[in-house]
Amino acid sequence: MSEVKVSEKGIEYAVPGVLKRKQRVFSQALLMKIPHSHEGISDISLKIGRYKFPFKTLETLDPKSELTLDNEELNSLIDYISRNYAPVNLGEGKYVDVSGDNEKLVESFKKLLEHSGDTARLLLENGILSENVLLAASTIRKQTALSFFEKSLEKETSESFWQDWFGQNKWVLGSDFAKIIDERNIDTKNIADYLMCAFDGFVDIVEIKKPNGLPFWATTKDHDNYVPSTALIKAITQCQNYLYAIERRCNDADFREATKSKVIKPRCILIYGRSNDWDNGQREAYRILNSSYTQISILTYDHLLARAKNVLGVMELDEEAAVSLHYAWC
């Protein structure tokens, strides 16, 4: 701990700190508490100067140059140095302030990792963060997204709402897809919700309908069989038209250039409706329906949610959920 002394004028001061010594002069910092007798308060001040040798006491210093900062100036200097010393020392760039509250720090760090894959890789390669930390951060972000997904299923939402959400969380759509293609136009008449580039370099389609307000099954059975609703048949027909249109462009150089992908037997994932209240008969009918299409896979929002949760390991499947997931994957 530093020693505090008192001068002949009653000024308390820390033992002076020599900043730099030269042959005939030295620079020094002196931290003082100066009393104001008429106000009954004291100010902390900092005196920085360059002085000649020799010296004996505070009052006998022979300055060549000297500057005394009052309390306000000193606090401003401390704040300035604390905020800027590390960034300047490290070099040009943008930095995350870790001195604030935890919520702001987490948000800043999350944006840093989300928007800069190079930054995340650099932190990992230099041992600043471990692979486990980055994996945990990614998992927490996905769990938060799934929680929002699940809550949103209970609200009235539009197709555009879900198009935007899946655009920010494409991992929920499955691990087959490498990226969402910027181009959505198949031709002048057909515009898909998403054209996806699979990891094998071929183009696939994702078509999104609302989770609520669209019945999956018709209100009445046919020969005691569940049959798809009119709205679902229309959505399936739309997917078939998209597949036909995109296959017609398989040799179109402009389309290949726009999508940076190849077209051979494209597949379409149709995200449609809910299945949270299905019975075993409906689950069996769903499996039969899905197996009848070679290029189309129908998934409900509940199938997507259960699959994503299972991938993240955030739930233990009960028997009913496990059966539902089985039918969605098989």
For the chain, give every domain's residue range: 4-88, 97-148, 157-329
Instruction: Name residue 198's beta-bridge partners.
Output: 177
Residue 232's SS3 state is: helix
Under 8 Å between Cβ of 243 and 208: no
Q: Please write the tens of the pLDDT for every residue from 24-61.
A: 777 888 888 877 766 667 778 888 888 777 654 444 55
Question: Does the pLDDT of residue 183 top 70, yes or no?
Answer: yes
Q: Please write the tens of the pLDDT for every residue from 250-291.
A: 888 888 888 888 888 999 999 999 999 999 999 999 999 999
Please report how the helices 117-125 and 131-152 are oriented relative to each other, as an axis angle in degrees rounded to 10: 150
Task: Rounding to the nearest 10 degrees, give the CA dihedral for residues 192, 194, 195, 197.
Answer: -170
Residue 137's SS3 state is: helix
Please state, in angstroms and rounded to a whole number, the distance separating the CA atoms of residues 163 and 210: 10
Question: Which residue type sits at 328?
Answer: A
Please tell me the pTM assigned to this model.
Answer: 0.58
Please state, in angstroms and rounded to a whole number, the distance separating the CA atoms of residues 221 and 248: 37
Question: Does the pLDDT of residue 138 top 80, yes or no?
Answer: no
Percent of residues, the chain, with pLDDT higher than 90? 30
| Cα within 13 Å of Cα(274), Cβ side | 11
Q: How far is CA 41 from the centre of its chain?
A: 49
Pick the closest to residue 308 from 166, 142, 167, 157 (CA basis). 142
